Amino acid sequence: MQVAAIIIGDELLSGKRQDKHLQALIRILAARGMRLAAAEYLGDDPRRIEAALKRAFASGDLVFSFGGIGATPDDHTRGCAARALGVELVVHPEARAIIEERFGEEAYPHRINMGAFPLGARLIPNPVNRIAGFSVHDVHFVPGFPAMAWPMIEWVLDTHYPHLRNDVPDVERSVIAINAREGDLIGLMEALSARYPTLKLSSLPNFGNEAIPQMHIEFGFSGQPALVDIALSELEKELVKRGYEVRSTA
């Protein structure tokens, strides 16, 4: 199971606001030895939101969706989730009780809609104002407000996915090959990728910079520490054997 994010809001795509969720989610996952595999930004376009959520529900991934679950006309996420699932949008009884207790008569006619979720949804408690988010399968919906969203994500991970926690987190380590060209080393990269299928190999060419004026490639492996060390050592030996100067990035 991989972790993905869907971050929703016209204000992010127009530049009116800067997204803070992506880096926060990366940090929250890293604290549990986990990594983010994918992220998607969307405007307040119901068609695109519904299509993205259909993919999320079908993916088998753990997905966090940020934003669009309020009660204003531009909050489309709840309705899009229901349509993507092919179920009704209904007011969750626990959410109804929370909203009525918090707002009294002012819960109607609009605020109550913040408790309308796809049929069968589960609540995500909100420690800030108690207005819940919701989960369906492995897709979890939180508000766009960072102060609310981030502790709600931590609650989801620690409550429902403790088995995904990795006490020996992945690492990423790299070396630099001076005057190397990717086209000359594709065979070596393919061989190492086949030999170490659980690791991710990266190749970042650079035509020269202030630190290293020569053309060079930064090769990296990410994965379990012991295996990364072995693969990187083998890569260094092969590069030296082929006549390249190899520099550490540590």
State the CB neighbour count (10 A cutoff) for residue 123.
15
Tens digits of per-residue pLDDT, 8-43?
A: 999 999 999 999 999 999 999 988 889 899 999 999
pLDDT tier, 86 (very low <50, low <70, confident <90, very high otherwise):
very high
- 164, 196, 223 — which closes off a domain? 164
Tens digits of per-residue pLDDT, 218-242?
A: 999 999 898 999 999 999 999 999 9
Mean pLDDT value across residues 63-87: 95
Decide if 133 contacts 140 (C-beta within 8 A): yes
Q: How far, in Å, CA of 189 to CA of 187, rounded?
A: 5
Mean pLDDT value across residues 212-220: 95
In terms of pTM, does the model score above 0.85?
Answer: no
Does residue 81 sit in the same domain as residue 103?
yes
- Residue 167 confidence (pLDDT) above 90: no
Q: Given this model, what pLDDT does residue 11 score?
A: 93
Does residue 29 sit in the same domain as residue 147?
yes
- The gap from C-alpha 137 to its chain's centroid, in whole angstroms, comes to 17
Q: Given this model, what pLDDT does residue 111 score?
A: 93
Does residue 98 sit in the same domain as residue 188?
no
Q: How far, in Å, CA of 62 to CA of 5, rounded?
A: 9
Beta strands in 93-162 (DSSP E): 116-118, 122-124, 133-136, 139-142
- Residue 1 confidence (pLDDT) above 90: no
Q: How far, in Å, CA of 3 to CA of 61, rounded?
A: 6
Q: What mean pLDDT is reported for the chain?
A: 94
* Helix-helix angle 182-195:225-241, to 10 degrees: 140
Decide if 153 contacts 142 (C-beta within 8 A): yes
CATH code of 186's domain: 3.30.70
Does residue 160 sit in the same domain as residue 196?
no
What's the domain range around 214?
171-248
Task: Classify the C-alpha dihedral 194-195-197-200 as positive or negative.
Answer: negative
Does residue 202 sit in the same domain as residue 93?
no
Mean pLDDT value across residues 160-189: 93
